[in-house]
Amino acid sequence: MGKITEALKKVTNERITRIQKKPEIQYVVKKAENTKIEEHIVSFHDPSSPIGEQYKILRTNIQSLNSAKNYKTFLITSSINGEGKTVTAINLAMSMAHDMNNKSVLLIDADMRKCRIARYLGISSHPGLSEILKGEVEADSTFVSPDVPNLTILPAGKAPRNPSELLGSKKMENLMASLKTRFDYILMDAPPVMPVTDACSIGHLTDGVILVVQAGRTQREVIEHTESRLHQAQAKMLGYVVTNVEFHLPQYLYRYVHEYGNYAYQAESVAK
């Protein structure tokens, strides 16, 4: 039994080593010059990269919902902080704006506690949503163009004392009703569900919720609790986006996709 145990242990250790070994090929985002948009926004800097293609797949899935059920407004949130919801919302919005059908896309920063969309895009966070809901400005005076055709940003505004109450107000409901008549698609980046009630306050104002889940971090029970809270708030779950998933292509397949069209993305070897 001792030899069998040792053999099994050796096989296990070899397998763990193979899994943990870094791939020889890593994809590098080709950051555009003369822009304040952060490199995390792959759909802007390198939309044909492997990650950029994943957002295009998500875009296609959403467009199919629009064709089948006329869905056009989506809430993007997560269970807890730090799962990548804001980066997902921005990349998805840009990918949808790049579509050849020239559909108008509005991205709303409804996370008035963090106001991160402005930081990622290098724009001012105010005036924005909080000022609109407090009756200080009209919506049109807050719209920002991030130099991406067909995409409009509605920043979060200055962080208010009562974000949940503002989002749950009749003014927010009226604002959404008005915006739906002006844009083909509306995406809202909302705070995570478990720490605060903001996402549950506005989930029912959209056609559905896309939940961002970080692989290897968010527990199943937390996700189930999140879904329960959204359901109680009469928000419809549409699907999930899983972040922090690492994979690499086999060398022969890498050469094919890298050379196909000779335009997609660049790669570089990592020295061992």
Local structure of residue 126 (DSSP, 8 states): -
pLDDT, residue 270, reads 33
C-alpha to C-alpha distance for 112 and 127, rounded to whole angstroms: 12
Contact 105, 145 (CB under 8 A): no
Q: Where residue 72 sits, what CATH number does that domain have?
A: 3.40.50.300
pLDDT the model gives residue 263: 36
- How many distinct structural domains can be found in the chain? 1
Residue 54's closest CA among 37, 38, 42, 71?
A: 42
Q: Dihedrals φ, ψ of 74, to 5°?
A: -135, 135
SS3 state at 50: helix
Domain of 208, in residue numbers: 5-269
Which sign, positive or negative, has the C-alpha torsion 160, 163, 168, 173? Answer: positive
Residues 153 and 146: their CA atoms lie apart, in Å, by 7
pLDDT per position in the chain (272 positions), as tens? 555 656 556 655 665 555 455 444 444 455 555 678 888 888 888 888 888 888 999 999 988 888 888 899 999 999 999 999 999 999 999 999 998 788 999 999 999 999 999 999 999 999 999 999 999 999 999 999 988 899 999 999 999 999 999 999 999 999 999 999 999 999 999 999 999 999 999 999 999 999 999 988 889 999 999 999 999 999 999 999 998 775 544 444 444 444 443 333 333 333 33
Q: Structure tokens of 174?
A: 């009226």
Secondary structure, 3-state, 67-108: HHHCCCEEEEEECCCCCCHHHHHHHHHHHHHCCCCCCCEEEE
Structure tokens at 50: 């492997």
Give the pLDDT confidence score for residue 239 in this predicted structure: 92
**Residue 69, token pair as written in the block:** 């059920």
Q: DSSP character for 150?
A: T
Q: What is the pLDDT of residue 7?
A: 58
* Residues 228/221, Cβ–Cβ less than 8 Å: no
Cα(132)–Cα(140) distance, integer angstroms: 10
Structure tokens at 172: 């927010």
Closest CA to 48 of 270, 244, 257, 268: 257
- DSSP-assigned states of every residue in 15-46: HHHHHHSPPSEEEE--PPSS--S-TT-HHHH-
225 to 192, 197, 237, 253: CA distances (angstroms): 12, 13, 13, 40
Is cis: bond before 127, omega within 30 of 0? yes
Q: How many CB atoms lie within 10 A of CB 107?
A: 29
